[in-house]
Amino acid sequence: MWDGSVCQQNQYARNLEPLRTGIQSRIDSITISVQMKHQGLLGHNLTVSVCVKMWSGFLLLPLVFGWICASELTFELPDNAKQCFYEDIIIGTKCTLEFQVVTGGHYDVDCRLEDPDGTVLYKEMKKQYDSFTFTASRNGTYKFCFSNEFSTFTHKTVYFDFQVGDDPPLFPNENRVTALTQMESACVSIHEALKSVIDYQTHFRLREAQGRSRAEDLNTRVAFWSIGEAFILLVVSISQVVLLRSFFSDKKTTTTRVGS
């Protein structure tokens, strides 16, 4: 026996199926925009925008931001000056020191790194950019210094990034034996991508600042040279006019009569 009500219900369900599928797909493909602002490099704001597609109805944003213990700074180093920084490090900790001269002179600086006993771990003279990685051999305060003592009249702008240790785990039980879930794997991938974005943005901003400094210095030199050329051209023009007038000027002759 044919049941019309059941057929109508099935037809109604089939009509709602595309709508339900669309809503479910919209829920499963929530797109968020993560914006991070990094303040400190030459007084500018660094904004990073990343679109993250999540596969769940809830978002675990705090898990995305697990920061490494690091110090980065951009500072002015006057001529004939030396600036030192200190960091307490535990034995066995992996550290990385990276620096770059942004502006000033030939864009070079001396760098020196010492352990708590005064042993020199790293020493370079007149370097524009370098990176050094080491593992702390003992507990204590490590010192790294930047020197501009070889320069007599030019000051430098130096940027450095000193990273101590590894990233903290994104999840409390990340070291478990079982594999990560799809959600956890996505968070780890997002975290690594954001770290790469920050590093690339920092390096590109340093290169932009260095290139801008070179361009401004070149523009200043060209401007002064142009002013000097204009002044010399004016002096030469006036000298030529005076010289030409002297050729065509009538000289008065004096006659002396000798008495008889």
pLDDT tens digit string along 71-113?
Answer: 788 899 998 899 999 999 999 999 999 999 998 888 899 999 9
Exposed/middle/buried for residue 104 (C-beta within 10 Å: 0-12, 13-18, 19+): buried
According to the model, what pLDDT value does residue 251 have? 64
Average of pLDDT values for 135-164?
Answer: 91
According to the model, what pLDDT value does residue 125 have? 93
Q: Which two tokens stand for residue 179?
A: 């594999």
Q: What is the DSSP string of the chain?
A: ---HHHHHHHHHHHHHHHHHHHHHHHHHT-EEEEEEEEE-STT-EEEEEEEEE-SSSS--GGGT----EEEEEEEEE-TT-EEEEEEEE-TT-EEEEEEEEEESTTS-EEEEEE-TT--EEEEEEEESEEEEEEE--SSEEEEEEEE-TT-SS--EEEEEEEEESPPPPSSTTTTSSSPPPHHHHHHHHHHHHHHHHHHHHHHHHHHHHHHHHHHHHHHHHHHHHHHHHHHHHHHHHHHHHHHHHHHHPPPPP---PPP-
pLDDT tens digit string along 238-250?
Answer: 999 998 888 887 6
More confident residue, 164 or 27: 164
Verdict on whether the full-model pTM lies above 0.85 = no
pLDDT level of residue 253 (50, 70, 90 thresholds): low
According to the model, what pLDDT value does residue 195 have? 84
Domains of the chain, each with CATH number or no CATH? 27-66 (no CATH), 68-166 (2.60.120.380)
- Hey, how many other C-beta atoms are within 10 angstroms of the C-beta on 144? 21
Beta-strand relationship, 31-39 and 129-135: unpaired
pLDDT tens digit string along 178-209?
Answer: 677 888 788 888 988 898 898 889 888 888 98
According to the model, what pLDDT value does residue 37 have? 37
Out of 43-52, 168-177, 236-245, 250-259, least confident range: 43-52
- For residue 58, pLDDT beyond 80: no
According to the model, what pLDDT value does residue 165 have? 84
Residue-averaged pLDDT of the chain: 74
